[in-house]
Amino acid sequence: MKYTVQIVGVGGQGVLLASMVLGNAAMNIGYKVAMSEVHGMAQRGGSVLSTLRFGDDVISPLEAAGSADLIMGFEPAETCRNLPLANRDSVILMNLDPVLPSMVAAGFEEYPDIEDLKKAVSDVNPNLFVIDATKIAIEAGKAVAANAVMIGAVAAIKGFPIPKDKLLEALIEQVPEKFRDLNVKAFEMGYNSL
């Protein structure tokens, strides 16, 4: 068994934390894990991509284009930008809450209609799951818990190789004690939303 998750989003959204949670959960159940992260310059509000691979015999920290089993999209435009990492059978989880790029905010560029982005994915892939992760996180208590919502949603995806309790356990390990309840609540809400 080999499984690849491509986690995409914008610097500051918690992509790295999510990849740590999934990676640790995979390690804890005995899988080999190989990951690759983007650090440095790109984190300043730029697109970020984190590759997570786990299974019986993985060593490469990168995956070929088209070979992702799951795209965990923290932001709709970034999910669409990275669609060539996936194939027809991949599962695509897309948070519908946009983060406006600076050039859009300043009025120099347009952000596409969310419905168009949904359609762009569902036209070529039948396994799209959409989620209002940021809104759900605010409902759970704080927008920063959106990554916990996303991880909860991943736990609900049929066929995802890491069981829900192991994901939750790894999440609790990774977040500061004082935000534990918030994250558990957000995780459960994400799980139930799918």
Nearest approach, Cβ of residue 50 and other proteins (Å): 9
Among 109, 165, 181, 192, binds other proteins (CB under 8 A): 109
Task: In angstroms, give the least distance from the CB of 57 to other proteins.
Answer: 8
Query: What residues from 138 to 167 belong to the interface with other proteins (CB under 8 A)?
Result: 143
- Residue range at the interface with other proteins (CB under 8 A); choices 32-40, 151-159, 161-169, 186-194: 32-40
Residues 6+ apart with CB under 8 A from 58: 2, 31, 32, 33, 34
- Nearest approach in angstroms of CB 123 to other proteins is 9
Residue 88, phi-psi category: left (phi > 0), alpha (psi -120 to 50), beta (remainder): alpha
Candidates 15, 56, 70, 80; binder of other proteins (CB under 8 A) is: 80
Count of chain residues binding other proteins (CB under 8 A): 66
32 binds other proteins (CB under 8 A): yes
CA dihedral 192, 170, 12, 140 (to 10 degrees): 30
Cα separation, 130 vs 108, in Å, equals 28
Instruction: Give the whole-angstrom CA distance, residue 137 versus residue 150.
Output: 9
Backbone angles phi, psi at 59, to 5 degrees: -135, -30
C-alpha separations of 194 from 55, 119, 191 in Å: 25, 18, 6
By CB under 8 A, name the one of 1, 56, 88, 158 that touches other proteins: 88
Residue closer to other proteins, measured from CB, 46 or 161: 46
Give me the residues that bind other proteins (CB under 8 A), please: 10-11, 19-20, 23-24, 27, 32-47, 57-67, 77-78, 80-81, 83-90, 100-112, 116-117, 120-121, 124-125, 143
